[in-house]
Amino acid sequence: MPIHRLKYINNIFRAVTIYSAAQGQISILQREKGAAMKKLYLLIGILFFIISFSLHAQTPKWTTYNNQNTNAMLPDNNVERLDTDATGNIWIGTYFSGLVKFDGINNWTNYNKNNSPLLDNTVTGLIVSSSNIWISTNGHGLYKFDGTNWLNFAKANSGILTDWTYCVATDNVGNIWVGINNANVSNSGVVKFNGSANWSPYSFTDNYNYKSVESIAKDNAGNIWCGTNIGAYKFDGSTWTAYTKENTAGGLCGNYVKTIAVDPSGNIWFGCQDKDPVTGYWVGGGLSKFNGSAWTNYKPSNSNLKTGHISSIAFRNNDVWVGTGFCGQVSDNLGLYKYDGTTWTNYFNNSNTFPGTCVNDLVVDKNGNLWIGSSWGLTKVDFNPTRVSYTEGLPNSFALHQNYPNPFNPSTKIKYDLSSESKVVIKIYDMLGRELEKLVDENQYAGIYSIEFNATKYSSGIYYYKLQAGNYTAVKKMLLIK
């Protein structure tokens, strides 16, 4: 019987077949050793399972960055809007101090009226599209920033119609959608911008007034959803469809739609305000989910979501994260909720988790970390705190170390050294050279790193891990025993 091996030749995994002249003898030896080795592997596997089980069960790590503990590198604790870019940077829109970029490690960059072309320090909306940052402001229109150059689209020089902008989003073909304040300016609530010269306004009205758009989202089919205080509107490219509390028989939890988000399955989630029938004031309406045909409501009267003031929504794996309260606007604030489909968990005014009582925005980065913007600053929830660890320092050279433990089940640590800042990619391969996972794909600073590989979904066998850091490449072998 031929013996198969995987060799790493010229930066490519190649399957190599080796034939033996004494295949019969090899077969006999293999049978004799097989039973003993299976028993040994079973004992080793049990031992490593016990050890690694405790390693795999991790408690999320909560870290809050504020003006005080960053030495004012985060210049403003009032974090209004968040988004992430392809390299892992967190972009932060503040209320008083403009735009901030944070690399997630230790570098902060602030763009404000004093050091950039920004004319407004209040960021009301923020979206990263390709390599551009788009921000809406509280009186100076829309800005585009490509990392070097700034462009301002204002009433005086563009078709945006007003300088008062609420939110910004993109669609599948790269158009920019901007929610605008139409009061005393125009009848439009939202404008679509093709990125060069064409502006298309759209209006929403009840029997008395034209309405502004305060939230925008794109669904998985490419439809644009706009939230107003007379309901939600869906645009399919040609037709607008209105969804209200009345025409959905209460499916939409309130007509003042403050936030809209789309989960990976395509469900549309709405955070709403509702009108008190007696006083006429806006009150918390709760959370609604729409799957395209049926509606589900979550509110204090039917769930353990104990407030109806929903400010933001994000999704991570199978969990729905819900920010409540509008910082500085309402008193019925209960911080942050996680909903796993069955249980609601509240994080509120706790120095060990979320220190705030209200949430302005939520975003999940490409590594699965949850970022929370509030009046308490910027909070990060790392659900795999031992997955990647970083030690500041300057190794003499690049290096990829042997994983530990090895053999392992189901988790192991891979340590590597970077002697200079580099684009780092770490991939896992099987015996046939097929790529299974990409553990790292980002720019990293010089230092000593450790990343966890969890092989719960893989069968026993030999696996390979490859580090590519700049011009440095290395591959090592590891053994999974279950």
Do 320 and 397 belong to one domain?
no
CATH of residue 237's domain is 2.130.10.10
Residues 332 and 395 in one domain: no
Q: How many domains does the chain have?
A: 2
Average pLDDT estimate for 322-340: 85
pLDDT at 11 over 70: no
- Please determine, for residue 127, whether its predicted confidence score (pLDDT) is greater than 60: yes
Query: What share of the chain in percent tops pLDDT 90?
Result: 70
Do 88 and 187 belong together in one domain? yes
- Domain final residue, candidates 336, 357, 382: 382
Report pLDDT for 6. 45
pLDDT of residue 183: 60
Whether 418 and 273 map to the same domain: the answer is: no
Q: What is the value of pTM for the model shown?
A: 0.75
Residue ranges making up the domain that contains 230: 61-382
| CA dist., res. 444 & res. 87, Å (int) | 10
**Which residue has tokens 């008062």?**
164
Residue 250 and residue 153 share a domain? yes
- Assess whether 53 and 66 both reside in one domain: no
Over residues 262-293, the pLDDT tens digits come to 999 999 999 999 988 899 888 999 999 999 99
Q: Which of 320, 352, 382 is the last residue in one of the domains?
A: 382
* Distance from the Cα of residue 21 to its chain's centroid: 56
Residues 370 and 409 occupy one common structural domain: no
Q: Are residues 316 and 359 in the same domain?
A: yes
Judgement on whether residues 419 and 377 belong to the same structural domain of the protein: no
Paired residues of 461 in beta bridges: 480
Lowest-confidence range among 51-65, 214-228, 415-429? 51-65
Q: Are residues 393 and 375 in the same domain?
A: no
Query: Which CATH number is 23's domain given?
Result: 2.60.40.2550
Q: How many CB atoms lie within 10 A of CB 1?
A: 10
Domain final residue pick, 336, 364, 382: 382
pLDDT tens-digit map of 309-322:
999 999 998 899 99
Are 34 and 183 within one domain? no
Residues 218 and 253 grouped into a single domain = yes
What pLDDT shows up at residue 437?
93
Mean confidence (pLDDT) of the chain: 87
C-alpha 98, offset from chain centre:
22
